[in-house]
Chains A and B, each alone.
Chain A
Amino acid sequence: MADIQTMQQTARPASAWRLDPPYGARTVLVVMLAALLLWYTGKRVEIDRMVALTAEGVLATVGLREHSQVGSGLAKIGSSLFPLQISERTETARIENFDPTDLPWLSYIETVEHRERTLNPTTLAMEESVETREYLVEPVGYLRHVLVKMLETLEIALWGTILAVALSIPLAFYGARNYTRNRLTYVASRSAVSLFRAVPELVSALFLVLAYGFGPIAGILALGIHAAGFLGKFYGEDIENADDKPQEALRAIGGNKVKVLWLAVLPQVLPQYIAYTLYILDRNVRMATVVGLVGAGGIGQELKGRYDIFNYGHVGTILVVIFLTVFVLDQISARLRSRYL
């Protein structure tokens, strides 16, 4: 009864109601200002030139233009990458402890005769000397080398992910407001998480290479630290947002924090944790290639080395292998995801 009465008291005739438009002049002004700012920054980063060059390239491709800077640049890259370098050819004299009776898989020895005309200093006559050189030819040798490097990259990504998970577990625990020990541990862990996330892998790898030398160690650490920042943040937030009811039930009978976390929180957040970790693994495979460019091991390091000595055929092989690997891993992870998540 009381409810009905109050409703009648507050009700007004429909003629007194108002339905305002969803936004007003102020919103329009703000949006216009934002657009102006965007236009200015666009000028600064040469968006107009980008559009012009790309359009020119497109027009040249369909035959409406004679020449395009972008088109010819791309054509030059394309032609220098091919044919892909698959085989490897090494002079046997340069191979230490070369044993011709025990050749590597699929390889054979190629003998090349070099004829050289040299001037005999005593007779002053031109003499022809024949020199035979032996080469060890491995038809898929370079491809195999690239695949081994690719495997190393995958291993760097895997261990970077393992390191990230290991680091992020304490970070998440102390970075969750409802599980941290005190304010200090909370702030410390949150700051560490932000710091780790703020440093890009490539930058930290640059310095870690100086500290640990060229090779996979720097790569693993760079990937692990950055991803630990990401995982620590997301794991921690999931702990905070987990349903409190089962946690309360276990607290009520005297379970300590670790037990409650393990039995009441972990089962709730596990699917999300797996999803985050798979994303990090996926991202690390791609980033492991990039950190190799600064010397942190794997296929990136090989790519940089070949690029610097203008071996574009080798570069082509590397790029194709990277592309195929990422593609195959994408397919596998999509399949795993749809089955288990």
Chain B
Amino acid sequence: MNGVRDPRMLAFDSVEKRYPDGTVALRSVSMQVPQGEFCVILGPSGAGKSTLLRMVNGLVAPTGGSIVVDGIPVEEKTLPRIRPRIGMIHQQFNLVLRSSVATNILSGALPAISTWRAVTHLFPERYRRRTCELVAAVGLGEEHLRRRVSGLSGGQQQRVGIARAFMLDPAIVLADEPVASLDPKISRDILSLLKRESRDRGTTVLCSLHQMDLAREFADRIVALRGGEVAFDGEPADLDEAATDSIYGEIIAGDLLIQRDRPKIVARA
């Protein structure tokens, strides 16, 4: 299914991010994600996965290079056009705990409704119907609709998060470590749910993970980051031992100089 539709749904061109404190999160990352692809960004903590994802909807601004979403460059003034087309799933679920499941999912329709409707909680009929469909689609029941999110388990909360992300039929869904705070069994359930939903709707997914096994299992394509650079880019089948080593290798020793013979990941001076 790769490449059959828009091959440049999401394009990063020599993207760079340097934080004011001098930390370099990303250095010259270039990649393209075709429409409908389930692309996993793999890498250890601090590799720049989150930064890369958050640049797509402008939560973080790059200090160099450019990002283009479906032909629209991501800039301050295009954000109002881009953001409603991008759903986001968060590591900590980022739900309003005291609100009901329905209200949380409905709030995914925020950019599409008028402010007075948001303030009075009078969401249009079609969004209310869609909420019901989504609750069923993510494997929750009618009894959950009016329940407070604080009373749900972690896995159930992330299901609500996924439903919220799909509310406006986004072109792209960003999943920032969606299963990092869940146990392995639930993580698999959640990722297969995410994969199924995105495949059914033709949604492009950019999903960051730190677990190699999950990445292998669910990704159409894996892009591995290390030290802010692309260390591997290919299909899960190509992720052999050498490639794994280049991503996680000898990081335990904490000595980057050992990596001297692997030009891909050596830090530029």
Contact = CB atoms under 8 A, between A and B. Distances in A.
B110 A253 contact: yes
Interface stretch (A28-36, A72-80, A258-266): A258-266
Interface in A287-310: none
A258 B115 contact: yes
A270 B110 CA distance: 20
Contacts of A249: 88, 90, 94-95, 161, 164
B46 interface: no
Given A263-B99, A267-B99, A254 B94 contact: no
Given A245-B90, A249-B88, A264 B107 contact: yes
Contact of B83 (A246, A248, A253, A263): A253
Interface in B67-115: 79-80, 82-84, 86-88, 90, 92-99, 103, 107-108, 110-111, 115
Interface string B163-191: 01000100000000000000000000000
A254 B80 CA distance: 6
A248 B59 contact: yes
B118 interface: yes
B57 interface: yes
Contacts of B168: 253
Interface residues of B, number: 31
B118 A263 contact: yes
A170 interface: no
Nearest to B100: A267
| Residue among A246, A248, A253, A270 facing the most chain B CB atoms (10 A cut-off) | A253
Contacts of A263: 96, 99, 103, 107, 110, 118
B119 interface: yes
Contacts of A341: none
A123 to B, nearest CB: 89
B98 A253 contact: no
B179 to A, nearest CB: 17
A260 B83 CA distance: 14
A262 B254 CA distance: 46
A253 B119 contact: no
Contacts of B88: 249, 252-253
A254 B98 contact: no
Among A2, A255, A262, residue most surrounded by chain B Cβ atoms (within 10 Å): A255
Interface size class of A (residues with CB under 8 A): 20 to 34
Interface string A206-250: 000000000000000000000000000000000000000110111
B110 A245 contact: no
B208 to A, nearest CB: 15
A268 interface: yes
Contact of A252 (B59, B92, B97, B118): B59
A255 B98 contact: no
A252 B99 contact: no
Interface of A: 2, 245-246, 248-256, 258-260, 262-264, 267-268, 270
Interface of B: 57, 59, 79-80, 82-84, 86-88, 90, 92-99, 103, 107-108, 110-111, 115, 118-119, 161, 164, 168, 254
24 contacts: A248-B59, A249-B88, A249-B95, A250-B110, A251-B59, A252-B86, A253-B84, A253-B86, A253-B110, A253-B168, A254-B110, A255-B110, A255-B111, A258-B119, A259-B115, A263-B96, A263-B99, A263-B103, A264-B96, A264-B107, A267-B96, A268-B96, A268-B97, A270-B98
Given A255-B110, A256-B115, 11 more contacts: A2-B254, A248-B94, A252-B57, A252-B83, A253-B168, A254-B83, A262-B118, A263-B99, A263-B118, A264-B107, A268-B98
